Chain A
Amino acid sequence: MTRQEDRIPHEQFVYARWLDWGTRIALLLLVATFVAYVLELTTPHVPFDQLTRIWSLPVEQYRAAASAPAGWGWLALASHSDYMNYVGIVFLALTTIVCYLRALPLFLARGDRAYALVAAVEIAVLATAAAGILGGVH
């Protein structure tokens, strides 16, 4: 029977460690900001009574009705209890990119150019999606 360290590539262990911490922090942020939202520790941008009237609208109409931002515009509203929740959600979505960024130099150091390329392209795809370049966000 082979040792676990011999069976599993080093970058897989490193990726797992970073992913573990990233996910824990993201979920902690998500729960903490949601508690703050429910307790209305700061004023929400969209009050609850308005929210129940417009959450059945398609997202474009919802944004117009709520004067809600697209893209990274939520950062300007992050002091409001509802948009504060985006901190945890965005952290969750960033975790994969950070883990790939951590794995990329490990592939390069091992001379595994094919997987370094796969990792680099994946980072580019995720970063493009995260930047909101695709889909005409306005």
Chain B
Amino acid sequence: MRRYALILLALLWAAPAAAAEAAATPWWVWPAALFAVSFAIGIVGVLAGVGGGVLFVPIVGGFFPFHLDFVRAAGLLLALSGALSAAPALLRSGMASMRLAMPLALVGSVTSIAGALLGLALPTNVVQTALGVTILAIVLLMWRAKKSEYPEVPMPDPLGAALRLNGVFHDPAAGRDVQWCVHRTPSGLVAFAGIGLLAGLFGLGAGWANVPVLNLLMGAPLKLSGGTSGFVLSVVDTSAAWVYVNRGAVLPVLVAPSIVGVMLGAKIGARLLRVVRASTVRKIVIGLLLAAGARALLKGLGIWN
């Protein structure tokens, strides 16, 4: 595990120097480097349960020569392709609830369009600085966040009850069916409005925020929250991705190797899940996000270009 993290750090260390001479570097070096970094991000992302987008945007935006507009678009498409690939199995197994996801995804997709439009309208240094601050806030959230396997929901709220946000899912690890329902649905909708805005603005994907809101705020079981988060993400990111696609902010040379790299890395990561200690991975991801967040902040403030 440490070997993968060291390879990733070495690649990142070399990137700014190469980026300074980007025009002189043969073009094929960049997709090859993107593939390598995305592959490592795919492994680490799965092991830490954060998805690829939240790591991809600050790392590639901070250490590669592409403009942040293109990196954010690639981040959204990368998170989108991962979520779309995982969603069918999660929906079929009942680990994701379409019923729970749809109202939240609707609110999130409206605000993610607003976020994408805002991100493309704001000056780059402002977006870069805000990205740095957001990533550092995510580090804090990851560091302090608690989880609850089966949260207690004393009584569903009226809106959640009217929308019938409840069901039964089978937990294969526990070997039993779990009845679930949610509460604080209006607060959940407001939270997903904020998450959608950030997803569109920074191209981050949003698994890092979806799961705590579903699990800790709304009271959905942890595994169902993880699966449903992927479904919500697939809708929210689609909306924002269209804004970037229509602006012509999609560079195939950036998007394709990143998507393939992350998806292959995620497959390796899934195999390593059984043998790697979650706490070690968590520390590595927090370290990477800390470095990438600080780099984004310093780049945005014009201190380290």
Contacts and interface: CB of A to CB of B under 8 A. Distances in A.
Q: Do A and B come from one complex?
A: yes
Nearest to A71: B246
Interface in A46-65: 48-49, 51-53, 55-59, 62-63
Interface in B65-107: 65-67, 69-70, 77, 80-81, 84-85, 87-89, 91-94, 97-99, 102-103, 105-106
B283 interface: no
CB-based closest 3 A-B pairs: A85-B252, A34-B256, A132-B246
Interface in A1-51: 1-2, 4, 7-9, 11-13, 15-17, 19-20, 22-23, 26-27, 30-31, 33-34, 37-38, 48-49, 51
Contact of A16 (B23, B87, B239, B254): B87
Q: How many residues of B sit at the interface, in one of the four size bands?
A: 35 or more
B147 interface: no
Interface in A65-86: 68-74, 82, 85-86
B123 to A, nearest CB: 9
A129 B249 contact: no
Contacts, number: 199
Q: What secondary structure prevails in chain A residues at the interface with B? A: helix
Interface string B160-182: 00110001111000001100000
Interface in B111-137: 113, 116-117, 120, 124
Interface of B: 22-23, 25, 27-28, 30-31, 65-67, 69-70, 77, 80-81, 84-85, 87-89, 91-94, 97-99, 102-103, 105-106, 109-110, 113, 116-117, 120, 124, 162-163, 167-170, 176-177, 234-235, 238-243, 245-257, 259-260, 263
Given A51-B27, A52-B27, 10 more contacts: A7-B94, A9-B99, A34-B256, A55-B65, A86-B250, A92-B81, A93-B77, A126-B242, A129-B109, A129-B113
A130 B235 CA distance: 13
A103 B87 CA distance: 15
B113 A1 contact: no
Contacts of B176: 1
A137 B84 CA distance: 27
B117 A134 contact: yes
Given A52-B27, A137-B247, A59 B120 contact: yes
Interface residue tally on A, bucketed by range: 35 or more
B200 to A, nearest CB: 10
Interface in A81-111: 82, 85-86, 89-90, 92-93, 95-97, 103
Given A23-B85, A49-B27, A134-B113, A16 B92 contact: yes
A129 B177 CA distance: 39
A89 B245 contact: yes
A55 B91 contact: no
Given A7-B94, A58-B69, A89 B77 contact: yes
B88 A129 contact: no
Contact of A4 (B94, B105, B248): B94
27 contacts: A1-B176, A7-B168, A7-B170, A15-B91, A19-B87, A20-B88, A23-B84, A27-B85, A30-B81, A48-B253, A52-B25, A55-B67, A59-B120, A62-B67, A62-B248, A68-B248, A86-B252, A93-B245, A114-B163, A115-B99, A115-B102, A118-B102, A125-B113, A126-B109, A126-B235, A126-B238, A126-B239
